[in-house]
Structure 1
Amino acid sequence: MLHDIGINAFHSKPGGNTVRKIVILALAMLLPAGAFADANKGKMLYDAWCAQCHGYEGDGKGYASGNYTLPQPRDFTKGTYKFRTTPSGEPPTDEDIVRSTQKGNPGTSMPPWTRFSDEEVRSIVEYIKSFDEETFELQGKAFQIGKAPSPSDALIKQGMEIFEKAKCWECHGRAGRGNGEKGWQSDFKNDGGTRAWPTDLTHNWEYRNFPAVEDIYRSITSGFDGTPMASFQTSYSEQDRWALSHYVKSLQVTRKTGSALTAKKVDTIPAVSDKKQWEAVAYIDLPLSGQLIFEPRQFIPVVTNIRVRSLYTDAEVSILLEWTDKRPNKGSDGHPADAVRLQFPVQLSSGAEKPYFYLGDSAHPVNLWYWRASDDQAVEFNASGQKENAMVTQEQNNIRVESEYSDGLYRILLRRPLATGDKNDITFVPDTFIPLSVTVYDGEHDEQADRAAISAWYHVMLEPPAPLKVYVLPPAAAFACIGASLFIRKKLKKLKT
């Protein structure tokens, strides 16, 4: 109502007339002055900071929507809200909208708006509600979440059984990576007709309604109205929902970020299928963002993280790349093939200088290892800057590859001799920080060429083998001690005699 009274009393609306406007204005004169200030403040803040995505009419059609946001911005005129503490079908509470505004929604284009005071956020919320006053005539009643039970093996097992019984795997996949076959279907959509993709439950940084066990319980209980994610409030007991929440929480992986990866020396590099051995190898996770410098830009990359591990022998180096992909693509269905590209400088700098982070530059060329799902082959390229036909194929290819896709996870093992004798190849030297970056292409989302997810520069260092004295000195010292002990005992025995 404040929207009509304080701001748009004379704005034409379907069915509006002069008498209605006069009545509204007369009623407005009876309201305290602060009511106008709050409504006007909410509109001013919304128009300045929210309308670019959500639209000036609240219809989700701001100029930044479309190809620049993931997912499409909320259409406030429909009164459908995903993130609530109210039962399915009921409007959210003010606190629900405040929470989404202040904290944002991870894994989406909605950032946390920490610049606003609590009062300013609430004025924005009041203005947002004015886009669909009919929905908010009914006040949503929040359900009580209570205190989460402590996790236990028995509780998590119970949750796993519910995950199976409720067929959560049909959308989220058996391992929870969002690769369930139901989520692949073209009719898996939100109410507005936009394509929906199940959440990757292993990536806690992508939980749009937050990843704590209480947040998961809230999501399971309320459901996400307007999406294929239904409410479990009436179909499962409170105990069952807590158990399921703890099981989902147990699927989350630990994201280990850092600036450098250490590769240990081994006698033999394990095969990509030897998961047990590779799981014992140290890793770092590289966050990925869209390539925004050159056309065609990628504003909303799907792959947000790639895990990197490395081992080496006397003869070769190996790098294992792991990332989740909800639907593998070999380029045979009208979409480009999935692919991944490793980038190294051709020559190492004596200082901190590195090539330009994307395809190098004319003074600092890069060595590229490029794997494609279409033929399951890896090819070596060189590049010296982003330009037409930037990547030049090497005449000699020294890369060997092993690949695996299972339960929504790609695992690509690339191997190459430490030194090839080719001046266009990076040479791997132990105890040296070697810059490394990664580019990932998700074919299902039409990523190819410069449209991709990319990382910044990181480093890999081949851990130097332990010097010979590490193995020789301790045994020698031990034998010396034993010998000295025997000599002293012999002398003492002789003296006693």
Structure 2
Amino acid sequence: MQALRCLAVLTFAVPFLDGSVRLPGAEPAELERGRAVYEAHCAACHGANGDGDGPAAVWLYPKPRNFSAGLYKIQSTPAGSLPTDEDLFRTITRGLGGSSMPAFNYLPEADRRAVVAYVKYLTAKVEPDGRRVNLFEQARANGTAASPITVPPEPPLTFDSIVRGKELYVSLQCFSCHGETGAGDGPSAPTLKDSFGIPIHPRDFSSGAFRGGAGGADLYTRIAVGMGGTPMVAYPDDVLSPADRWALVHYIQSLRQKDAEVNDILSPEDGMIPVARVRGALPADPMGPAWERIESVRVPLNPLWPEPYPIPAVAVRALHNGREIAILLQWRDDIFDGAPVRVEDFQDAAALQFSLTRNYPFLGMGDVQNPVNLWQWKAGWQQAVDGARPDVETVHPKMHVDVYPDPLMQATYCTAEAAGNLLAARTMKSPVEDANAVGFGSITSQPPAAQNVRGRGVWAGGFWNVLFVRELRSRDKQDVQFKPGQAVPVAF
């Protein structure tokens, strides 16, 4: 994120306050509220005017939705029509699994409803004569606003329904994109592009996350209406009968790996991670037995782009003893990636982002109005603390001698260390960096005297176990302050 430069506060030049633009059922006050929430939480990805060109878009794949095109992936209405308000509200609330679109269920419902109104306002095109035409208003005026399709009750799952579903999977050539086993590796997969000409991957039925939900009714609807702006076409009633559509749903569900890690990922219903109080010293070992007695919360993670070995969630446990707080993160990672000595290396890492204002900041490092405190742990720093950090000589033990351990050469190929960079020092006291940010490109490490977060990471059995520990109350004004009974917004 440090390479990205942008304005921390986005401004909008959208003339809706003069009353010239109205949406049915949306009052100016609601649009203004929606604009404010959109500016704080959505514009960085979707762009100030909803064109999908926000400053974060360069880091994301698939790309953020371009609202002005009027093409929405998740809807309950027939193909070629616009989604309902509830479709948009559900997407904002639940997010799109397996993509960078997170769930915003932590925002007040009124804020999410207001964003729906504002997104509808942004769904507009500019005619050659310069007129701005809102697509939702146009559909209402033309009488073409669509209603949701009817999803009939799901029939019982039977052997015959799965057999019929497989026949349809072959005859409709679903395998061409999604592959014979549903792994998203069909022969056409490398050639697929969305409506904007950007390459797009078909869904991996076997282990990937379904964008619009994995329930039977969700999949039935996706098959019936397709996914706007993607190669996933609709199969309406004149192509597939409801019975055949359900059979195809059952077959797709049969392709699912029963141990797929995304199957059991549920956001906490109240959005809260409890911090249990204990007596005495907090456990210093992330593998210690004391943690087994503490309730864990699985927090879904949203990838910035598809990964061959995705990490769909992190398990979080937390304790405090009235003086200190300890937070344990655990996630599955079959491959250990340590210090990035080679240019092609990327080390394992984890970070917590705490709001300094008690408000919900932008997920991507906050903003000027809502600065954040970051605790970042990296596997390479852990190796340095443990005294086992690899270097050029250890990674390439049989290399020809072209570097020498004298001070001049050390400064040449270890520039950060030679410059006295805290995070490159061989005598690091903690594998955790205490930093602050007010938006993209603004992350700033606190001075050495203010680095007061301890930590330890242990990789064992294909899992990372990373512990963060700090005093509840810090003397540093740039640090998050914890008080029993008081909630603090956090992102992972």
With the length of structure 1 as denominator, give the TM-score of the two structures.
Answer: 0.51
Query: What does residue 303 of structure 1 align with?
Result: 308
Query: What does residue 135 of structure 1 align with?
Result: 135
1:244-323 map, 5 Å: 244-255=248-259, 299-305=304-310
**Residues 62 and 306 from structure 1, CA distance in 2 versus in 1: closer, same or farther, beyond 3 angstroms?**
closer
Helix, strand or coil: the match of 1:361?
helix
1:409-488 map, 5 Å: 435-436=459-460, 456-457=464-465
1:87-236 map, 5 Å: 87-133=78-124, 134-136=134-136, 137-138=138-139, 139-185=145-191, 188-204=192-208, 206-233=209-236, 234-236=238-240
**Residues 226 and 303 from structure 1, CA distance in 2 versus in 1: closer, same or farther, beyond 3 angstroms?**
same
Query: What does residue 478 of structure 1 align with?
Result: none
2:386 aligns with one of 354, 357, 364: 364
CA-atom RMSD in angstroms: 4.0
Deviations 1:163-200 (A, max 9, x none): 01111111111110000010122xx2001111111111
Quote how far apart the aligned CAs of 1:304 are: 3.7
Alpha-carbon distance in structure 2 between the residues aligned to 1:161 and 1:88: 24
Deviations 1:222-260 (A, max 9, x none): 1011111110113111111100001101111123669xx
Quote how far apart the aligned CAs of 1:118 are: 2.5
- Structure 2 residue identity aligned to 1:72: K
1:389-400 map, 5 Å: 391-392=395-396
Work out whether residues 7 and 39 of structure 1, in 8 Å CA contact, stay in contact via their aligned partners in 2.
Answer: no
Work out whether residues 14 and 49 of structure 2, in 8 Å CA contact, stay in contact via their aligned partners in 1.
Answer: no
Query: What does residue 53 of structure 1 align with?
Result: 45
**Residues 43 and 363 from structure 1, CA distance in 2 versus in 1: closer, same or farther, beyond 3 angstroms?**
closer
Alpha-carbon distance in structure 2 between the residues aligned to 1:230 and 1:118: 32
Tell me the matched-pair count.
289
Helix, strand or coil: the match of 1:214?
helix
- Structure 1 residue identity aligned to 2:220: Y
Of all paired residues, the percent bearing the same amino acid is: 26
Helix, strand or coil: the match of 2:460?
strand
Alpha-carbon distance in structure 2 between the residues aligned to 1:203 and 1:251: 9
Quote how far apart the aligned CAs of 1:340 are: 12
Work out whether residues 176 and 189 of structure 2, in 8 Å CA contact, stay in contact via their aligned partners in 1.
Answer: yes
Work out whether residues 99 and 304 of structure 2, in 8 Å CA contact, stay in contact via their aligned partners in 1.
Answer: no
Work out whether residues 171 and 181 of structure 1, in 8 Å CA contact, stay in contact via their aligned partners in 2.
Answer: yes
Alpha-carbon distance in structure 2 between the residues aligned to 1:390 and 1:146: 63
**Residues 364 and 210 from structure 1, CA distance in 2 versus in 1: closer, same or farther, beyond 3 angstroms?**
same
Work out whether residues 60 and 75 of structure 1, in 8 Å CA contact, stay in contact via their aligned partners in 2.
Answer: yes
1:23-102 map, 5 Å: 24=19, 35-67=27-59, 69-102=60-93
**Residues 435 and 223 from structure 1, CA distance in 2 versus in 1: closer, same or farther, beyond 3 angstroms?**
same
- Structure 1 residue identity aligned to 2:307: V
Quote how far apart the aligned CAs of 1:288 are: 12
**Residues 289 and 209 from structure 1, CA distance in 2 versus in 1: closer, same or farther, beyond 3 angstroms?**
closer
Query: What does residue 425 of structure 1 align with?
Result: none
Quote how far apart the aligned CAs of 1:150 are: 1.6
Query: What does residue 15 of structure 2 align with?
Result: 8
Quote how far apart the aligned CAs of 1:96 are: 0.6
Work out whether residues 288 and 303 of structure 1, in 8 Å CA contact, stay in contact via their aligned partners in 2.
Answer: no
Alpha-carbon distance in structure 2 between the residues aligned to 1:288 and 1:83: 20
Helix, strand or coil: the match of 1:456?
strand
Alpha-carbon distance in structure 2 between the residues aligned to 1:125 and 1:83: 14
Deviations 1:42-78 (A, max 9, x none): 11111111101111111011111112x2310000111
Alpha-carbon distance in structure 1 between the residues aligned to 2:460 and 2:247: 42
Helix, strand or coil: the match of 2:27?
helix
Helix, strand or coil: the match of 1:254?
coil
Deviations 1:70-119 (A, max 9, x none): 31000011111111111110111111111100000000011110122322
**Residues 227 and 149 from structure 1, CA distance in 2 versus in 1: closer, same or farther, beyond 3 angstroms?**
same
Helix, strand or coil: the match of 1:202?
coil
Deviations 1:443-476 (A, max 9, x none): xxxxxxxxxxxx6359xxxxxxxxxxxxxxxxxx
- Structure 2 residue identity aligned to 1:146: P
Alpha-carbon distance in structure 2 between the residues aligned to 1:142 and 1:55: 28
**Residues 209 and 304 from structure 1, CA distance in 2 versus in 1: closer, same or farther, beyond 3 angstroms?**
farther
Query: What does residue 490 of structure 2 align with?
Result: none
Alpha-carbon distance in structure 2 between the residues aligned to 1:156 and 1:51: 43
Higher relative contact order structure (alpha carbons within 8 Å, sequence separation ≥ 6): 2
Quote how far apart the aligned CAs of 1:300 are: 2.6
Work out whether residues 347 and 379 of structure 2, in 8 Å CA contact, stay in contact via their aligned partners in 1.
Answer: no
Alpha-carbon distance in structure 1 between the residues aligned to 2:190 and 2:178: 10
Work out whether residues 288 and 304 of structure 1, in 8 Å CA contact, stay in contact via their aligned partners in 2.
Answer: no
- Structure 2 residue identity aligned to 1:228: P
Work out whether residues 347 and 380 of structure 2, in 8 Å CA contact, stay in contact via their aligned partners in 1.
Answer: no
Work out whether residues 227 and 233 of structure 2, in 8 Å CA contact, stay in contact via their aligned partners in 1.
Answer: yes
**Residues 358 and 38 from structure 1, CA distance in 2 versus in 1: closer, same or farther, beyond 3 angstroms?**
same
1:316-331 map, 5 Å: none
Alpha-carbon distance in structure 1 between the residues aligned to 2:55 and 2:15: 22
Quote how far apart the aligned CAs of 1:394 are: 8.3
Alpha-carbon distance in structure 2 between the residues aligned to 1:389 and 1:193: 45
Alpha-carbon distance in structure 2 between the residues aligned to 1:300 and 1:390: 32
Query: What does residue 279 of structure 1 align with?
Result: none
Alpha-carbon distance in structure 1 between the residues aligned to 2:461 and 2:233: 40
Query: What does residue 319 of structure 2 align with?
Result: none
**Residues 38 and 306 from structure 1, CA distance in 2 versus in 1: closer, same or farther, beyond 3 angstroms?**
closer
Work out whether residues 163 and 169 of structure 1, in 8 Å CA contact, stay in contact via their aligned partners in 2.
Answer: yes
With the length of structure 2 as denominator, give the TM-score of the two structures.
Answer: 0.52
Work out whether residues 437 and 457 of structure 1, in 8 Å CA contact, stay in contact via their aligned partners in 2.
Answer: no
Quote how far apart the aligned CAs of 1:299 are: 4.5
Alpha-carbon distance in structure 2 between the residues aligned to 1:289 and 1:226: 25
Deviations 1:388-418 (A, max 9, x none): 67634589xxxxxxxxxxxxxxxxxxxxxxx
Alpha-carbon distance in structure 1 between the residues aligned to 2:393 and 2:91: 44
Segments of 5+ residues of structure 1 without an aligned counterpart are: 1-5, 11-20, 259-286, 291-297, 308-320, 324-335, 343-354, 367-383, 396-433, 439-454, 459-497
Rg larger for:
1
Deviations 1:467-493 (A, max 9, x none): xxxxxxxxxxxxxxxxxxxxxxxxxxx
Work out whether residues 221 and 232 of structure 1, in 8 Å CA contact, stay in contact via their aligned partners in 2.
Answer: yes
Work out whether residues 207 and 260 of structure 2, in 8 Å CA contact, stay in contact via their aligned partners in 1.
Answer: no
Query: What does residue 266 of structure 1 align with?
Result: none
Alpha-carbon distance in structure 2 between the residues aligned to 1:7 and 1:435: 50
